[in-house]
């Protein structure tokens, strides 16, 4: 860029979901390149972002969410519109949305002539049962002036299914924060979580159908017969979506597991400072998702020096090879369990750790940030035309 830009980066939440983490890391990388970035998100808790970003940030207060998914989404869209209505809050060269909520808000602001346009990053596209949610998701993408996609999978789907040309942004990992070197916090975290001495399998993303948590639990219970000292941690899960029905099914599955359920630790969202130590505590990350935009925690786990069990589906197959990870069929718990068992093979394990560190090193946020600059330049040219 010929001059520094002022950029409003918009996320749907202050919680550490993949799209929010991407938006924050991208904002920090763009700031490092000399641009002035302010990361925005509605904040009903009053706690602010899950960590303090190294750029400008505004977690603006909003009322508690209304009951019902569609009503909540519409409420948050209205919250965003209201926040940006004062002209003093719109003093930016560019507006960049990372989700359907902020994308719809920017579409409304442009419709009203309050902004000239906006960029939208598509992390993944949900299949909502509610037609209103599907309409809002579509509007947040189709109304954008330019789109980016975090993987070739979603870039291709936008082209073939939506007729939209999207630039590839990619994803990154902060190698200063996620590293194999232990710093002593691992033991403290182990004690805090009440973990035993056995190997720990880690699943990140909470209890959600998209994260395939029930099949991961089934796989772990199969493995537990062979390794009674093994433990499963299910971390994360701070979501605006309603996963209540799936979580009830998971609870019933746990109740039927008998004594083995004691080896399963559902710890929910954890402090950002504890994420790298948690990866380092783990024997293996189990990321058998059925749908993902990219899978940031795969890179984070690899950067921390642990093997990864991952679904043999796109987008993972874009940037990972058979030498990098332990593939599994996410539809078959036995396949997941078999991949978990293979992680005990010492020779294979060391190869995976070495390969994983190499994969992580090739995904840096500076490169991701620079991939956005031509898109931003095009937006400014169109606005000036």
Please report the DSSP string for 46-109 in residue order: SS-SSS--SSEEEEEE-PPPPSSHHHHHHHHHHHHHHHH-SGGGG--SEEEE-SHHHHHHHHHH
Closest CA to 378 of 132, 165, 103, 136: 165
Q: Can you give the pLDDT at residue 327?
A: 98
Determine the Cα–Cα distance for residues 30 and 20; give it in Å rounded to an integer. 15
Q: 332 with 240: CB under 8 angstroms?
A: no
CATH superfamily of 185-361: Glycogen Phosphorylase B; (3.40.50.2000)
- Under CATH, what is the fold of the domain 6-172+364-384? Rossmann fold (3.40.50)
- Indicate the domain borders of the chain: 6-172+364-384, 185-361
Q: Can you give the pLDDT at residue 383?
A: 75
Q: Token pair for residue 355?
A: 């390969």
Flag whether the pTM goes above 0.75. Answer: yes
Q: Can you give the pLDDT at residue 2?
A: 72
The residue assigned the tokens 């899978």 is 295
Q: pLDDT tens, position by position, for the chain (385 residues)?
A: 578 999 999 999 999 988 999 999 999 999 999 999 999 999 999 999 999 999 999 999 999 988 899 999 999 999 999 999 999 999 999 999 999 999 999 999 999 999 999 999 999 999 888 999 999 999 999 999 999 999 999 999 999 999 999 999 999 999 999 999 999 999 999 999 999 999 999 999 999 999 999 999 999 999 999 999 999 999 987 676 677 899 999 999 999 999 999 999 999 988 999 999 999 999 999 999 998 999 999 999 999 999 999 999 999 999 999 999 999 999 999 999 999 999 999 999 999 999 999 999 999 999 999 999 999 999 998 877 6
Same fold, 6-172+364-384 and 185-361: yes
Q: Can you give the pLDDT at residue 1?
A: 58
Q: Can you give the pLDDT at residue 25?
A: 97
Residue 153: CB atoms within 10 Å? 19
Express each pLDDT in 294-350 by its tens digit.
999 999 999 999 999 999 999 999 999 999 999 999 999 999 999 999 999 999 999
* SS3 (DSSP) at 151: coil
Q: Can you give the pLDDT at residue 385?
A: 62
Q: Can you give the pLDDT at residue 262?
A: 96
Determine the Cα–Cα distance for residues 108 and 196; give it in Å rounded to an integer. 52
Determine the Cα–Cα distance for residues 98 and 102; give it in Å rounded to an integer. 7
């Amino acid at each position: 860029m010929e001059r520094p830009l002022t950029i409003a980066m918009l996320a749907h939440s202050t919680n550490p979901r993949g799209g929010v983490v991407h938006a924050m890391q991208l904002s920090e990388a763009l700031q490092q390149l000399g641009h002035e970035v302010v990361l925005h998100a509605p904040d009903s808790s009053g706690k602010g972002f899950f960590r303090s970003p190294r750029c400008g940030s505004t977690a603006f207060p909003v009322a508690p969410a209304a009951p019902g998914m569609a009503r909540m989404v519409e409420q948050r869209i209205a919250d965003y519109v209201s926040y940006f209505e004062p002209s003093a809050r719109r003093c930016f060269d560019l507006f960049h949305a990372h989700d359907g909520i902020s994308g719809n808000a920017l579409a409304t602001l442009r419709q009203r002539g309050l902004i000239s346009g906006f960029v939208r990053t598509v992390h993944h596209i949900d299949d909502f049962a509610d037609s209103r949610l599907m309409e809002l998701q579509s509007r947040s993408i189709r109304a954008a002036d330019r789109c980016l996609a975090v993987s070739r999978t979603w870039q291709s789907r936008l082209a073939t299914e939506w007729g939209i040309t999207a630039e590839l942004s990619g994803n990154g990992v902060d190698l200063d924060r996620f590293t194999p070197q232990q710093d002593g916090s691992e033991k403290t975290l182990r004690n805090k979580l009440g973990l035993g001495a056995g190997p720990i399998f880690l699943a990140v993303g909470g209890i959600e159908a998209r994260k395939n948590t029930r099949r991961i639990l089934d796989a772990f219970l199969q493995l537990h017969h062979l390794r009674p000292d093994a433990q499963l941690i299910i971390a994360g899960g701070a979501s605006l979506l309603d996963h209540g029905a799936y979580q009830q099914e998971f609870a019933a599955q746990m109740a039927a597991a008998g004594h083995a359920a004691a080896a399963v630790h559902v710890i929910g969202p954890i402090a950002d400072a504890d994420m790298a130590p948690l990866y380092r505590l783990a024997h293996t990350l189990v990321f058998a998702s059925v749908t993902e935009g990219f899978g940031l925690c795969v890179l984070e786990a690899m950067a921390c020096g642990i093997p990864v069990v991952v679904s043999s589906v796109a987008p993972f197959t874009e940037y990972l090879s058979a030498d990098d990870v332990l593939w599994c069929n996410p539809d078959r718990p036995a396949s997941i369990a078999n991949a978990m068992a293979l992680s005990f093979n010492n020779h294979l394990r060391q190869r995976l750790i070495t390969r994983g560190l190499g994969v992580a090193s090739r995904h840096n946020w500076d490169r991701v940030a620079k991939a956005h600059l031509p898109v931003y330049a095009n937006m400014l040219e169109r606005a000036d035309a």
